[in-house]
Amino acid sequence: MFAGKANKALLGVNAVAVIAHNKDGLFATDPEDMGVGQELRKLGAYREKELQRVLSYIDNNDNVLIVGTHVGAMVIPFAKRCKAVAAIEANPDTFALLEMNLRLNDAHNVQAYNIAASDKAETIDFVSSRTNSGGAKRMPKVRDFRYFYDSPETIAVPAYPLDEYLKDQTFSLVFMDIEGSEYFALKGMQNILAKAQTLSVEFIPHHLRNVSGIGPRDFLDLIAPHFEHLLIPTLNTRVTKDGFLPALQKMFDQDQVDDGLIFTK
């Protein structure tokens, strides 16, 4: 691991990037980031168990959509194992690190987009967390202290429905990690979901309540029409469509988190 001055054109600021190395490649991270960046630097991996689980659903003929890429900790491993990746990242500083990491790892089969996913074309207020850049999110409906404890900057970012922005593109797998904005993104990608074979999406009750202002039924209304089966890894449980709502409602009521629910056809 080493630190060096980052190119201002790459990062948009006069910053220091710390380079972490693991089995999947090199990852430039923000040294202030105590979330994804720290995990990559200290452990040499990020959510390895989840990564391997989701990778088992694709092969080298598949196209993958990753919504909420952060610096590319998931993008780079996916790019090595599939045909092509479309990578969506809203935070401009994080996006600059993502672009750097695509170059560091010669990930030529990745197309990266510096936008937020939403249900309409708009400009949204975006909370750019400093100590946990992976926790950056659209402005929550409820300003819970845990989203603002580090006095994050609020910036404006462009947002689009992915059905329009990625029109006519088809993805076998959709991987989503966007800190509570799932509801808005899912509303804007119903055509993409109809063609996808697999959806991996985090389930964090306080994000649904506070960021989107919804519950499990609203969440599932956008997913259940497209998928028949659900794997809940934290519970080691599989349910069919009629069990989606009872299972997630119970988790919601108990504030139980899952980093990656997996819905399949």
- CATH number of domain containing 260: 3.40.50.150
Q: Is residue 98 part of a domain?
A: yes
**What's the domain range around 233?**
55-264
Beta strands, E only, 8-152: 16-22, 25-29, 63-67, 84-88, 110-113, 116-117, 122-128, 137-138
Q: Is residue 232 part of a domain?
A: yes
**Does residue 3 fall inside a structural domain?**
no
- Strand segments, DSSP code E, in the chain are 2-5, 16-22, 25-29, 63-67, 84-88, 110-113, 116-117, 122-128, 137-138, 153-160, 173-176, 198-203, 229-232, 237-240, 258-264
Is residue 242 classed exposed, middle or buried when 0-12, 13-18 and 19+ CB atoms within 10 A define those classes?
exposed
Q: Count structural domains, the chain.
A: 1
In this structure, is residue 234 part of a structural domain? Answer: yes
At 176 the pLDDT is: 97
Establish if 9 belongs to a structural domain: no
| Confidence at residue 14, expressed as pLDDT on a 0 to 100 scale | 52
The whole-number pLDDT of residue 22 equals 87
pLDDT of 3: 33
* 219 within 8 A of 176, measured Cβ to Cβ: no
Amino acid 162: pLDDT: 98
Low-confidence ranges of the chain (pLDDT < 50): 1-13
- The whole-model pTM stands at 0.92
pLDDT of residue 85: 98
Which pLDDT value is given to residue 15?
Answer: 52
Residue 118 lies in a domain: yes
Question: Within a domain: residue 43?
Answer: no
